[in-house]
Structure 1
């Protein structure tokens, strides 16, 4: 089934496009078994895409403490405990577009959030911090996706995970596209319980210098100009992990591309 966007017909075309793309990518995550049950979460910074008159639609507010810099932000966000696979055709139930008030003390739901007891993902703090970082640094990145790419998660249990430089070389060396499409590599973030401020801070620190963050024994997160790019970062990085694990399972340690060959890719 395809996402029905009739309820979005009065929204800006770019907003509709973002949500349709979320629906498409959610299908990929489910097919790849990266978003079991209620795991994973997605957000998109929609600030600046709504006309000023949108504020007149805001009615009931839900108290929530945000960083003061988030005042006035518009955000698409998936719900806590919701299944990402339902984004394919039931997005209004499992996700919402929220508007943060001007004092950053509450939000209002502009669209969606129709499931009983809906509230934004428990990782909302991390998402907000990433969006604020991207906006402050003019990265152009608007989408954030967290999922459980199988092979990356497996490698986060391996001793290789503790040597970030070697970890990235081990992924990059498997084929040229991994170095080309994930040039800043994967940031390896030590285990911290999900939903905590500490995890949010570690994630932001890792994203400052990397394309993907791998949370030890948990999952991975990436951000991009839209959902497709964010997904691509995870997909390509995980391809490197999958190739490495396949080589190991076949009983050999792959030689891979040399450092000089990897440098040549970046310099061409």
Structure 2
């Protein structure tokens, strides 16, 4: 059975994903098969068409969180390189449909590589998409990657003082305070591809824009993948400027508390 035809709106989102994947590779944030991207595309598809197209397809068992029944998710593949999304997105990712009792999925587009399977972080992504459906419904995209300077900060003692870490990163330039207004969550270490990692990440998004996974990487959500990228890009810029000052041997003056407070009118 052939892939389902992509709605124009969904294709536009895939084009953005390809573009952002290129950014990640150029920035050295996506070494080898590091990182993953997903997007909740349910609203872009007609449910009746999905049910008709999948009624004779085989499904792969998977224990999704209850509440994700009928979701249509774009997601990258396990072992796939994000740089492959630039030119070979149909081989490095797929769009899958979760069945009506959230116990299995079938691929309705992409996954053309031999032996393809969705990322091992599927439980984390589906759980966060469900969380956003309930708590932040405009956020359809999830981006996990390895921003160099943010990872360095997760090894620093400041990681144990979230408020102070955010203050020092915010004070590096006004844009960081304005465009990452809720700041960075210092998310404690949890093993990849586990429910524990999903839980600590969802806890992070209750209060912050970015979840900084201890000694691992960072994750953000957004209305689309470009918006999620912006959170990570700007947050990492603050961390990079801070590290540059330290490496140059001085403590940055930074924006004052009064100046940071003044910027809240733009957040």
Fold in common (TM above 0.5): yes
Out of 29, 37, 53, the position equivalent to 1:42 is: 37
- 4+ residue runs over 2 A deviation: 7-10
1:3-28 residue CA offsets vs partner (Å, 9 max, x unmatched): xxxx9893211100110100000000
**Greater CA drift, 221-230 or 106-115:** 106-115
Residue 62 of structure 2 contacts residue 105 of structure 2 at CA under 8 Å; is this kept in 1? yes
Structure 2 runs not aligned, ≥5 long: none
Task: Give the 5 Å matches for 1:47-66.
Answer: 47-51=42-46, 52-58=48-54, 59-66=57-64
How far did residue 192 of structure 1 move? 1.4
1:190 and 2:188 correspond: yes
**Greater CA drift, 114-123 or 91-100:** 114-123
Q: 2:27 maps to what in 1?
A: 32
TM-score (norm 2): 0.95
Residue 99 of structure 1 contacts residue 108 of structure 1 at CA under 8 Å; is this kept in 2? yes
Residue 8 of structure 1 contacts residue 16 of structure 1 at CA under 8 Å; is this kept in 2? no
1:160-204 residue CA offsets vs partner (Å, 9 max, x unmatched): 111000000011000000000000000001111111111110000
Instruction: Please give the alpha-carbon distance, in whole angstroms, between the structure 2 residues aligned to 1:11 and 1:104.
Output: 23
Out of 168, 171, 196, the position equivalent to 1:170 is: 168
Instruction: Please give the alpha-carbon distance, in whole angstroms, between the structure 2 residues aligned to 1:175 and 1:75.
Output: 36
Q: 1:10 maps to what in 2?
A: 5
Instruction: Please give the alpha-carbon distance, in whole angstroms, between the structure 1 residues aligned to 2:4 and 2:122.
Output: 27
Question: How much is the aligned-residue C-alpha RMSD, in angstroms?
Answer: 1.3
Structure 2 SS opposite 1:84? coil
Q: 1:135 maps to what in 2?
A: 133
Instruction: Please give the alpha-carbon distance, in whole angstroms, between the structure 2 residues aligned to 1:100 and 1:71.
Output: 6
**Greater CA drift, 102-111 or 50-59:** 50-59
1:115-145 residue CA offsets vs partner (Å, 9 max, x unmatched): 1221111111111111111111243000000
Residue 184 of structure 1 contacts residue 209 of structure 1 at CA under 8 Å; is this kept in 2? yes
1:101 and 2:99 correspond: yes
Structure 1 runs not aligned, ≥5 long: 1-6
Residue 174 of structure 1 contacts residue 243 of structure 1 at CA under 8 Å; is this kept in 2? yes
Q: 2:108 maps to what in 1?
A: 110
TM-score (norm 1): 0.95
Task: Give the 5 Å matches for 1:70-85.
Answer: 70-85=68-83
